[in-house]
Chains A and B, each alone.
Chain A
Amino acid sequence: MNKPPTIFKTGVTLALVAAICTMLVAGTYRMTAPRIAANERVLLEQSLQPALAGIFYDSGVTESRVVIPPPHDLPGRDPAVVYRVYAAGEPVAALFAITAPDGYAGPIRILVGVDLQGAVSGVRILSHRETPGLGDKIDASRSDWIYQFDGRSLGNPELAGWAIRDDGGEFDQLTGASITPRAVINAIADTLVYFAAHRDEIFAMPASTDEAS
């Protein structure tokens, strides 16, 4: 049996292995970083697009980002992210990335597109943890439920009508889940109310440059 190695020898070995491993990771990072950044930009633009159905725009959506810190009148207590959308320099729509705090299984992140007249241009769920098979039908990949808001606005229906049919509103519910659609519908209606009250303010704000969202 050899005598145990000195602390110096073990230390040097560990340092050497750590250095090699760090080089390996750093090399991979350098090779993949541009691709990853490009993927993330594409992903963001792609995820914003469905909420802008039927709207012509020529601005890079991601560059017009504003972060509205809480407290604000939008749903949720997180900072709300707004993307302003322009065509030929004129505002045409705004995208709200908001949080409905009262989902069945935690907050639901929602993207609401609103055109200049206050009508919904599209709604998409960004993330949620609702029950698979029941509440997750709010996701466009699971059912068509989310499309029923397209073209709706505050007068169509009146604010009282922004609810599921069981609650006397105008919108379809989901079988086996009523808390989830309630949360989504309330969040959309609150967003429309906010947009109606703050429209010009939103488009006048300078773009936020920080990357935290």
Chain B
Amino acid sequence: MNGSLGDKFLPGLWRDNPGLVQLLGLCPLLAVTTSLVNGIGLGLATLAVLTLSNGLVSASRRLILPEIRIPIYVLIIASLVTCIELAFKAFFPTLDRSLGIFIPLIVTNCAIVARAELYASRHPLADSLIDGLAMGTGFALLLMAIGVFRELVGQASLFSGLDMLIGGEAVRGIVLADAGLLLAILPPGAFFSLALAVALKNALDRRRRLLSNVRVARNPRRAR
């Protein structure tokens, strides 16, 4: 693999974002993004699992027999998720309760097994770690963006429950109004928010494509 660090990192954030483009791991994405803090929590947990599983799969890719690679991925991912869950219970107990079943359910996040199969099993360790970090960050950023949107619209607040991440007194966050549009927090709001995010990404991509076409259409030598 050649190319700069940015060439390897950026696809995960934007072009191949696991949530926005590959539409993988939607169950946790839709279920926990009722607030920014929840989004950060699950985002970080997924990021950790994805990076570590990419690393382990890549490091052992020469030993793994192709015939049984899927059960081995499942074993590796399930063990890592269990470790992360124990770590959450030990260090962020309240956040763990807030995320509930969705930490163990990271096992079923297809984004992770997809990266193991599509990338880590064919690339060296360093590249696979970078890919895991990039895809995980892309997924975490999407979780946070949708969390911000749903919390702002649904509760008119931001950072509520921050104490679950950093400890201390219960935090109600920045409260902008007494009540928000309830719909955003209920399950349908999750689908609307994701649809808006995907539409926004497509619109931005389209705009960029149009702009670059215009630039090519004009004689590039005349452009300043």
Contact = CB atoms under 8 A, between A and B. Distances in A.
* A associates with B: yes
Interface string B76-115: 1011101100110111011000000000000000000000
Nearest to B72: A17
B185 interface: yes
B89 A36 contact: yes
Contact of A14 (B68, B80, B186): B68
Contact of B182 (A13, A22, A133): A133
Identify the 5 closest CB pairs spanning chains A and B, nearest first. A21-B79, A32-B90, A35-B90, A28-B83, A39-B93
Contacts of B82: 25, 28
Interface residues of B, number: 29
B95 to A, nearest CB: 12
Interface string B169-207: 010100000010010011000000000000000000000
Instruction: Report the contact-size class of chain A (Cβ under 8 Å from the partner).
Output: 20 to 34
Interface string A6-28: 00011001100110011011001
Interface of B: 60, 63-65, 67-68, 71-72, 75-76, 78-80, 82-83, 86-87, 89-91, 93-94, 154, 170, 172, 179, 182, 185-186
Chain B binding surface, main DSSP class: helix
A99 to B, nearest CB: 19
A93 B71 CA distance: 55
A9 B83 contact: no
B53 to A, nearest CB: 11
A4 to B, nearest CB: 6
Contacts of A17: 60, 72, 75-76
